[in-house]
Structure formats: C-alpha cells, structure tokens
Amino acid sequence: MNLAGKKILLGVSGGIAVYKACELLRLLQKKGAEVRVCMTEAATEFVAPLTFASLSKCPVYQKNGAVEARPFQHIDFPHWADLYLVVPATANVIGKFACGIADDPVSLCFMSCTCLRVVAPAMNVAMYNSPAVKRNLEILRGFENTVVLESPAGELACGEVGQGRLMEPAEIVKFLEGEGFPLAAAACASSATPSPRGVSPKTPVPPAIPVAADVPPTQDDTLPGHGKKVLLTAGRTEEAIDPVRYISNRSSGKTAVALASVFYANGFEVEVVAGPMEAAFPGGVAVSRVQSAREMHDAVMSRLSNVDAVVHCAAVADYRPAHAASEKIKDSRSQLTIELVPNPNILRDCVAARASQSAAGAARQVIVGFALETDHFKEHASEKLTKSGADALLLNAPVASDSGFGHDCVRYALVRRDGTVPEMSMGSKVDLAQEIVDFVLEKLG
C-alpha cells in the first residue's frame, strides 16, 4: 500500500508500549499519511493526549471529552479514515473488539469502522498466552477487513522474555507498505470458516520480522530539531512561610507541557526543570523536580552550558520570606508582618551566563522568556524584554474568559528584539508552543 495521502486513524490503548505509538505516528507522517488519534482513558495515563495532538495537529478523541470534541466523533473519525490501526492493542481492548463491547473511543471506533483494520497486540507473555486472549485473537482474525499482527518474542518491559512485544513501528510501516497488505484483510475474511462454537480458525498472517529487545524511541534525524537540546522551566515555585504555608504564583503547567510536546515532536532532546504543577509531561521528556525559586535557579544554571536553547516558562515567585518559621505559625488573628527578600532572576542570570560563554567562544544559545501581564501589555513587554536581554519574550494575558490558567487557550504575542510588539491574539497553547519552536529553529539556523 502506498501510504502517501492516506487517512489513518490511530487507536491507542493503555500499555507501556504507548510511547511507540508516537514514533509510529511520525513515521506514517513521513510517508505522507494524514493521522488522527483516539485514545482509551488508560492510554492517557502513559502519554498525555496533548503529545498526540501536537504530533497529529488534530484534537485527540478521548473519553473525558476534549474541548474540541464533537458528539459524533466515534462515527466521524472512522468514516474519515482509509485505515484504522490499533497500536498498541491491550488484552482488555482486544477482548472488547472480540465481544462487541464499545465503551471507549478506541472500541467505539472499531465497532463503527468499515475500512481496513490492523490490530497490533502488546502485553505480558502470560497474558498473551492465556486461553481468553488466544480465543479473542482467533475471533478477530475471522472478522472482515481485519488483520492481527503477530507479537514478536523478546525481552518485555516487565523483564520477562517471550511473546507479547509490540511489533516495532518501523516494521509496522514496512508491513503496511508491503504489496500484499491491501489483500491481507480480504484473505483473512474469505478463508475463515466459523467453528461450531463460533470461533474462526487461524488464518495465515504475514510473518513479523524478529526485533531486538525494547529500546527507547530514537529521534528522527530528518526532523528540524534533531541533534539540538532545549531546557524548559515549568510550573510554579513555592516559597515557605512555615512548614504548611507558602508564597506562590498560579500555574497549571499546561503551557510548559505544550512546549515540551512540540519541541519533542520537532526532534529536540527536551529537559525540564519543573516546580509544582498539575499537568503531566509526555514520555521522552526528562523532568527534574524542584520546589523553590532558588532550587530552580541552581538547577537551571547547572544545566545551561549543555543546551542550545532555554525557554523560561515557569511562574517564578519574585520574592520569598526572609525567614521561614520552623514551626507552624499559630493563628492568633493578630496582624502578621512578613519580611520579603527578592529571589534570583533566573532569566537575567541565564543571559549573563550566555554572554560569558559567547566571550569564551561557545555557540550562542537562544533564550526566550515569558511575561504575564494584566494591563499596559505592550509597554510592559517591551520594557521587560529590554531589561532581560533575551532573544524574545512571550507575552500572555489570562484576562479573557475560558483562557489562561488551567485552560487550553490563552491570549498571547511573541515579542522579538526588533522594537515592535505584535497585536495579541487568542490561540491554543499548542499554537503558542509552535510559534516559540519556530522562532528557536529560525535563530538556530
């Protein structure tokens, strides 16, 4: 099958091999295919839907209801597709397919799908060899327009050795591009004869090529950020008043997760220094956790010499208590005065360190800062950019309804060092992230 121009729906169910679905999506796109994604709730625990949305440039169909979700996605997505891939397919979702249960996006799409369907099992060897799973796989092989890929033997994520591994993404693409693939599903259906108990006999499936033990996905050397490393700050910082109280800023971390996802999708090696936050980072991103502004400062400065770009996305507290109480301050209802002292300015210290590195002959880094403002946007952004010395400043304003903190959209503008401040526009945090990534790529040449 020629994958160029094909519309492929990728169904992702919850297993440790979910990260390989990200690699498969990129490989399909390289072949010229357009890919959309649906996920089970369990799959979102392994890789955030935002990662797949960033890679596919399309909202992910998920059970908990994405903002962009439509009421008939379980019909629209399968009808749109030329091919439905379920990668990885867990024992749970395979059982649903075989028994006609449709209670999550992946099984709903399987039920309503009329195009070719390819199922790639992935699970522990004991589960793969269990009578129930074997029976369910036999049933699926008897379905019309359905192909079940073999699971190669090898070392599994749990440490055991045996069948149950997910076929490597490159081998799945190779299988789809094989001359006999479009006929495989028809061959399965035409040669299957239901047994008295309703279980179809096994039909021939093109053999899988043996693969090596599990390894993390390699970065695609055709992606623009390949060979480059970016450091992000994320979340918020918390400055202790006493053991139970602190000073902080509002931040869910969603913008940082969008940045990490889009940088990773563009081939960058991504490292994050993250304060407390609610959003979860995608697999493949290295995350170091900190609590206070000083901890974040030390973590960033220790990593600075090894990266090509730094994006300061964290909501860092400007001040901290001069003295944190060792015991909880008792509630006497009397007036309490807290002496504050300034925290280090991480952005400015990075710019100063870059200047020293440049003087020593090191390659110039790209540094992008963030500025959250609630009034006089352009004036404040221009002033902050000039004082910081950064290459650009992402101005954002969480003042509109259903945007900003904890939401998927925000009002923003990327301010560059050419003296002009563009008008702010409302967009998704993925769009914001893509604009920053494009700027960094431009500056890196």
- Give me the active site residues, please: 158
Measured CA to CA, the distance from residue 50 to residue 262 in angstroms comes to 9
Closest CA to 313 of 421, 441, 419, 436: 436
With CA atoms as reference, report the closest residue to 78 among 49, 120, 41, 115. 115
- Closest Cα partner for 270 from 231, 236, 239? 231
Q: CB-hemisphere CA count at 13 Å for 222?
A: 5
The DSSP H or E segment spanning 184 is helix 181-191
Is residue 115 a contact partner of residue 78, using CB atoms and an 8 Å limit? yes
Looking at residue 59, its amino acid is P
Query: Do residues 241 and 253 touch, judged by C-beta distance below 8 A?
Result: no
* CA triple 289-295-296, angle to 5 deg: 65
Any idea what the Cα angle at residue 186 is, between residues 181 and 190, rounded to 5°?
145
**Rounded to a whole number, what is the distance in angstroms from the first to the last CA of the chain?**
36
321 burial level (CB within 10 Å; 0-12, 13-18, 19+):
middle
For residues 276 and 411, give the distance between their C-alpha atoms in angstroms, rounded to a whole number: 23
> 74: part of which helix (H) or strand (E)?
helix 73-80
Give yes or no for a contact between 23 and 231, defined as CB atoms under 8 angstroms apart. no
**Distance separating alpha carbons of residues 344 and 290, to the nearest angstrom:** 15
User: What are the φ/ψ torsions at residue 416 (nearest 5 degrees)?
Assistant: -100, 175
- The 3-state DSSP class for residue 3 equals coil
